[in-house]
Amino acid sequence: MLGLSGGCGGKRSAGIGAVELLRERSPPPRRVGVGTGSTVREFLSELSSEEWAADAVYYPSSRDSALLLAELGFNVGHPGTVASLDVYVDGADEVDPYGRLVKGRGAALLGEKMLAYRSRYNIIIVDDSKLVDVLGSKKPVPIEVVPDALPHVLVELESRGLHPRVRRGSGKDGPVVSDWGGVIVDLTIPSGVNVEELDIVLHSIPGIVETGIFIGLTDAVVVGYEGCKWKVERYQRRRGILARA
């Protein structure tokens, strides 16, 4: 664990830790994928003062991140124009001891998973409140569903005991619709359910576009603590065409 002077919360600590990890990478990353959320904001605000970071192109996982990157003066690339990334940095809602994640509180899970999949090295940044023994134990698991598929998807998920709830947002009537036009549905995972099997089952239901269960996509987790302290956990990637190359 490292320490710095000055105060900061866990999210900022994780962001500082991620900048340290990036600084160590050789050659410096040139195509950087950027996740979504408040921890990513902390990371970007730390990164914006790094000189080397100005040479990279940044690919956002959501419109929110695209706007933030532009505001901070980063070079923004369109994610639809690049097949592989050197590194991807993102937050998470839950991280288990195997580096498996639940993501999607910000409804960006589809964009996030597409970037994580095509990136050669994935860094997850969380404060210590995100660490769990069992995925789905603290937060619901979000999925993205094609709007016309909602009726049968909801019936199917209810029958499997997953208590689907269509997410409704502040500032808008009706369901939360993602940047890709899908409806976000939050699932409650009964205890004892194997999340890897659940992920396969969910992907087999027509109309479910993607899930917030991220398995085998983590290389490093930076866990931030109060007081500018963090630790880095490293994992073996298991999935992804680029990881197998």
User: Which residues fall within 8 angstroms of residue 77, CB to CB, at 6 or more apart?
Assistant: 31, 57, 58, 59
Q: Which residue, 28 or 233, is less far from ligand 5RP as judged by CB?
A: 233
In sign, the C-alpha dihedral spanning 57, 83, 35, 245 is negative
Instruction: Kindly list the catalytic residues.
Output: 112
CB of 38 or CB of 48, closer to ligand 5RP? 38
- Closest separation in Å from C-beta 163 to ligand 5RP: 20
Strand partners, 59: 33
**Spatial distance between the Cα atoms of 93 and 195, rounded to a whole number of angstroms:** 15
Q: Please, is 210 exposed, middle or buried when counting C-beta atoms within 10 Å of its C-beta (0-12, 13-18, 19+)?
A: buried
Q: Is the dihedral of CA 106, 110, 76, 216 positive or negative?
A: positive
Judged by CB under 6 A, the residue of 12, 34, 36, 225 near ligand 5RP is: 36
Q: What is the smallest separation between the CB atom of 108 and ligand 5RP, expressed in angstroms?
A: 4
63-92 binders of ligand 5RP (CB under 6 A): 90-92
15 contributes a contact to ligand 5RP by CB under 6 A: no
State residue 235 phi and psi, 5-degree precision.
-135, 160
Instruction: Compute how many residues bind ligand 5RP; rule: CB under 6 A.
Output: 17
Stretch that binds ligand 5RP, among 23-31, 32-40, 49-57, 165-173 (CB under 6 A): 32-40
Q: How far is the CB of 179 from ligand 5RP (least distance, A)?
A: 10
- When the beta carbons of 99 and 104 are compared against ligand 5RP, the nearer one is 104
**CB of 229 vs ligand 5RP, minimal distance in Å:** 18
Taking the C-alpha atoms of residue 117 and residue 245, their distance in angstroms, rounded to an integer, is 13
Report which DSSP code applies to 55: G
Stretch that binds ligand 5RP, among 31-39, 146-154, 201-209, 216-224 (CB under 6 A): 31-39
> Which residues in the 98-127 window bind ligand 5RP by CB under 6 A?
103-109, 112
ω into residue 97 within 30 of 0, thus cis? no
> Which SS3 state, helix, strand or coil, does residue 148 take?
helix
Determine which residue in the list 38, 45, 48, 188 makes contact with ligand 5RP, applying CB under 6 A.
Answer: 38
Q: Which residues contact 190 (CB under 8 A, 6 or more apart)?
A: 161, 162
Minimal distance in Å, beta carbon 145 to ligand 5RP?
15
| Binding residues vs ligand 5RP (CB under 6 A) | 35-39, 90-93, 103-109, 112
